[in-house]
Structure 1
């Protein structure tokens, strides 16, 4: 792969799925995507218990509904963010503007600081 702006080859190249799948950041995004499914799936399915007094459901984490809501929110945000940046990884070689590439890379760095995806 030839050097280019912000770690990619020259813009306008053909899409190569084999090269995309072999990139370490793509592999890590897919692994993070799977873990995000595990996080919010396990909390939604097994994170709540029925209370003895009524039909109210209690969160298993210290009976605090905010804890379960936080876990589900983080899992869903990680899921959506991973999908967004996987799509950006596919589209990135077709971005011809250096300014747009810079925005994409900086947004990826900013989100990576905030979230594990």
Structure 2
């Protein structure tokens, strides 16, 4: 790949799906997407239990509904952000402005929480 602004080749290159899905950051982003489905899916399906003596369901995390709601919220946010940045990775070679590329890279770093 030719050198370019912010880790991409020159703008306007053709999209090659085989090369795209072999990149390590794409594999990790898809893996994160799957894990986010596991997180919110497992809490939604098995996160609330009720005992035979009670009518109301309680969260399995210390019987605190906010704990379950927080886990679901984090899982859904991770799911949506993985999809958004996966789409941005596909669109990234088409971005011709260096400023726009910089914004895309910095937002990805900010959302992923790299410290």
Shift of 1:31: 0.2
Unaligned runs of 5+ in 1: none
Shift of 1:55: 2.6
Cα distance in 2 for residues equivalent to 1:45 and 1:13: 43
Unaligned runs of 5+ in 2: none
Cα distance in 1 for residues equivalent to 2:35 and 2:66: 21
The alignment of Structure 1 onto Structure 2 pairs a total of residues equal to: 114
Shift of 1:18: 1.2
Deviations 1:68-88 (A, max 9, x none): 001100000000000000000
1:85: which partner in 2? 85
Correspondence 1:31-42 to 2 at 5 A: 31-42=31-42
Return the TM-score normalized by structure 1.
0.93
1:70: which partner in 2? 70
Cα distance in 2 for residues equivalent to 1:17 and 1:6: 20
Q: CA RMSD in A?
A: 1.1
Return the TM-score normalized by structure 2.
0.95
Cα distance in 2 for residues equivalent to 1:58 and 1:52: 12
State whether structure 2 residue 68 is matched by structure 1 residue 61.
Answer: no
